[in-house]
Structure 1
């Protein structure tokens, strides 16, 4: 008699293998690894100066308007939902400081918002993959800033679709406009563009 694992067991094992691979590569190869429903995403390029400057400025802008107890975090660990087989690393996470305590990855349900600065080397990761994965993770607000075009969008209002949870609202903006990320409004006038 043969006992074959069901799809959920197979998916859980595959995710564990990918998770172990990503952990083993963290300090070995340059770039950033994330796990999506499609597999491992490897952004091989080190972030450009305009990317990192944008992350820094957005973090500072958010911290000026966030209430006590909430922070705009730009470091590690990742945001992970193992049952869905997803591990992502937002450029900026709005999270309660108390939810950062303990070991392991952040629970995505504790995030108030995620902000991504589009990578020059892999823009689809931010515009397509994360637009799909973040509502699945339950992240209520997702802001995308694109230094390639000087524009972006804020996604919100998660709703169910036949393809899974998706954002129902997309508010586009151009650099120079103020944008609302959840309950907090920040300017975008001084954000750098890619040359």
Structure 2
């Protein structure tokens, strides 16, 4: 896979799910909720051994449905191998570390690094990346994306951090390709609104 294969990874759905620190059973349940809703991509952040077990279980369940799972919070190059061994199809970082990017590229796994400034976007693109995670999205605000598209029209953004059904549309309308949600999947009142977003 390459950076451009995020088009396939997200399956054309403008929403992805992040299951942070939820444990094996809860991660499994929420991944099923996400897939049933029409969310193709699920990310399990790797910060503890329990997270790694959760990732392996979600990967196992995803294989039954032909879905791909990512490993998030990759902050060190050595975590790339851990994520791959657990079955992750891509990795996600909260920030932009060229060493982590190069480790992912060397292992042939797509990476979605976090950016929050024009300088970071420019550096990421110089490393051959076009899909980028904007974090924290609600701190940046939807207007940030309208401005950043001027000098970087080829960049594709996944907005992460503080997004739920109440504000996701605002970011999509600003040109974001994908918005990431987490706890919203446990709120029955938000599921219908998320389904509407997925139908866009």
TM-score for both structures, normalised by structure 2: 0.29
Larger CA Rg, structure 1 vs 2: 1
* Larger fraction in helix: 2
TM-score for both structures, normalised by structure 1: 0.30
